Amino acid sequence: MKYVALLRGINVGGNRKVPMADLKASFEGLGFTGIKTFINSGNVIFETDINHTEELTKVIEKQIETDFGFAVAVILRSQAEMKKVVKAIPDTWVNNKEMKCDVMFLWPEFDSPKVLEQLVHNPKMEDLRYVRGAIIWRIDRANATKSRVIKIIGTKLYKQITVRNVNTTRKINQLMKPDSDLA
């Protein structure tokens, strides 16, 4: 089965440094195949015969802690799950100079449509959508500093998500396709 491991909180502001080549070697050491890393934020695409995601997540987190000396939370998404998330993102939602659009990947404890109730937002200026495993958030850049969604930083919910912008999310999905190749 093909998965992407989304690591939370690495290589941010020069902290918790994890070189992608070393991260790839960690995944190789676990016997995974077809390993690709994408950008420095900790996105690892790989294949394995193990299909129990809870067990697989624990194995990966333990290996990362052993290899790098600190704990890193990991969310796994299968190829089918990533495809559903990307399909739920409107084509017009992008991350560019005019618009900010992020995907907040949820840990299982918060993976429910009810999670939207924990995110105070202004529907006149920002959009929130739940899709199984994620929340998709969109706001015009001119209004980004007025967003109430960013107030989740430091909350219990914030500690149970990892965020990727939509461009990164779409690219990961593309890289998970059988005919893709990382340049």
What tokens were used for 170?
Answer: 């779409």
**Range(s) within the chain of domains with CATH label 3.30.70.1280:** 2-80
Q: Give the CA radius of gyration of the chain.
A: 16
pLDDT at 155: 74
The answer, yes or no, to whether residue 174 has pLDDT greater than 80, is yes
Q: How far is CA 13 from CA 40, 120, 154, in A?
A: 12, 27, 17
CA distance 58 to 121: 34
pLDDT-based confidence at residue 13 (cuts at 50, 70, 90): low
What tokens were used for 75?
Answer: 């969310």
**Range(s) within the chain of domains with CATH label 3.30.70.1260:** 82-176
Convert the pLDDT of each residue in 68-99 to its tens digit: 999 999 999 999 999 999 999 999 999 999 99
CA distance 41 to 7: 7
Domain with residues 82-176, CATH architecture: 2-Layer Sandwich (3.30)
Classify 36 as helix, strand or coil.
Answer: strand
Convert the pLDDT of each residue in 26-64 to its tens digit: 999 999 999 999 998 889 999 999 989 999 999 999 999
Convert the pLDDT of each residue in 121-169 to its tens digit: 878 899 999 999 999 999 999 998 888 777 777 777 778 889 999 999 9
**CATH superfamily placement of domain 2-80:** SP0830-like domains (3.30.70.1280)
